[in-house]
Amino acid sequence: MRAPRLPRGKFGFARRLSAAISFASCVLPAIASLLLLPSSSADERAGAPLVLELKLDGEVEPILATYIDEGLQDAANRHASLVLITMDTPGGLSDSMKDIVQHILMSPVPVAVYVSPTGARGASAGFYILLSADIAAMAPGTHTGSATPVIAIGGAFPMQIDEAFRKKINQDATAFLRSFTERRGRNSELAEKAITEGKAFTEKESLDGKMIDLIANSREDLIRKLDGRAMARFDGTKMTLALKNPALAPFELSARQKFLSRIVEPDIFFLLLILGALGLYTEFTHPGVIAPGVIGGICLILALYDMHFLPVNLAGLFLIALALAFFILEAKAPSHGVLALGGVVSMFLGALFLIRSPLTAGGVSIGVALSATVPFAVFAVVLTRLVLRSRKWKTATGMEEMIGSDGIVTAELKTGAEGMVRVHGELWRAQSSQPVPEGKMVRVTKVEGLKLYVEPAEVASPTAK
């Protein structure tokens, strides 16, 4: 006897839906975790000391600071023996630098910062990060220093400030540097010259001046020299590094962080801002195109995201908005190029003012500011003129299209009486204010329903055209 089968239908569908939901609830979080978390290598040997390797390349900015912070946290969670940060940076934003320094000082895992490879530098913000580490090392042919605070207009033109204000800024920077270099046992007096005098140091000068701990030819050479090295942590505790045959695990930027690290650059932020404004402006002036509005909206939202991380100057935003107003006015009331030129100058200055960077010269580059401003001005003026010109065009559809058209009288038109005219190959009932014989040309001046009002072509008002 066969076992009775459950009927198909809503019960079978419910089982399939339940299975699909269960599968999704298990798989989707796993996929999300892979996308959102930075990746680390699985090359870890049981019982071997773990060295987690991070890379600090390019400008120091918020996304890179987040990456370093997450790497230090991951090293603590995995009980690593050492965090090795390989650095090559020209500097960056002061807030991001301070965030990295703070997390290095608080890290439960010892941190070694290594300026590498040959030709690399740890300048400006990188100088602070290097000296904050438990172990500061450099490769041959590298340099560090040049940490003088710079107040610049968008990173392009240094501002002229009075000596008292400059001294105040330098005092703040040197005090911050002393707060951790002295506890690390490093030469704070020499280090301060990188701020007060803008000095830079080679790896040998840094070692002889007791600002770094050692010079290493490679990552492997550095780890070999650190094995068995006694050291004091920032909190005063003593420890000895045990790095015999370590397992190296690189800690990579996640796909999300790689993308975000690109869009938070000042140049990209400026481009997103003007592309967003141009896209929305195009959509408003040419409704129905759709694509410019979609692209412009996405660019503006990404620009707003950047504003959460970058030190944006409102004066720069206002100058860019003023430039857009100048371009629109130039199209409406041509000023022989005066308004357009004012808009170009306003947008260029807005780009330079856009990013505030008190300790470094990070900002929108002059090349990007110029190459983006001029095309934007051309597009804005041309689009506005097209819109204004289209408003003067005669309607090309519907009854209004008949006004101004010429026709031929097919049945004599008497004053105040209806006759027949042929317009665009069609016969229409027509009325004229004066008699028009058959075969004469007339011009349509008004349309009411299916009736045309016409005048002889030779006397028709020009305004009817």
The string of DSSP letters for 221-236 reads HHHHHHTT-EEE-TTS
Identify the helix (H) or strand (E) that includes residue 54.
strand 50-57
User: Has this prediction a pTM greater than 0.85?
Assistant: no
* Model pLDDT, residue 388: 64
Which two three-digit tokens encode residue 11?
A: 């019960």
Give the pLDDT confidence score for residue 390 in this predicted structure. Answer: 61
Q: Between β-strands 441-448 and 121-123, what pairing exists: parallel, antiparallel or unpaired?
A: unpaired
| CATH no. of 399-464 | 2.40.50.140
Instruction: Report which of residues 139 and 339 the model is more confident about.
Output: 139
**455/79 Cα distance (integer angstroms):** 96
* pLDDT, tens only, 414-432: 887 888 999 887 888 898 8
> Is the pLDDT score of 54 beyond 70?
yes
Domain 39-255 homologous superfamily, CATH: 2-enoyl-CoA Hydratase; Chain A, domain 1 (3.90.226.10)
Residue type at position 247: A
Mind listing the pLDDT tens digit for each residue in 171-184?
989 999 999 999 99
Question: Within its chain, how far is the Cα of 287 from the centroid?
Answer: 27
Nearest to 73 by CA among 107, 99, 35, 34: 107
**Which two tokens mark 137?**
């090392």
| Per-domain boundaries in the chain | 39-255, 264-392, 399-464
3-state secondary structure 120-158: CEEECHHHHHHHHCCEEEECCCCEEECCCCCCEECCCEE
Over the stretch 378-414, which tens digit does the pLDDT of each residue have? 877 777 777 666 655 555 555 666 788 889 998 888 8
Which of 32-41, 242-251, 261-270, 412-421 tops mean pLDDT?
242-251
Closest C-alpha among 199, 240, 246 to residue 222: 246
Mean pLDDT over each residue of the chain, to the nearest integer: 81
> Please, which contacts does 345-349 make with residues 24 or more away whose CB atoms are closer than 8 Å?
346/319, 346/320, 346/322, 347/274, 347/319, 347/320, 347/323, 347/373, 347/376, 347/377, 348/373, 349/316, 349/319
Residues ≥6 apart with Cβ < 8 Å to 51: 80, 81, 82, 83, 84, 223, 243, 246, 247, 248, 249
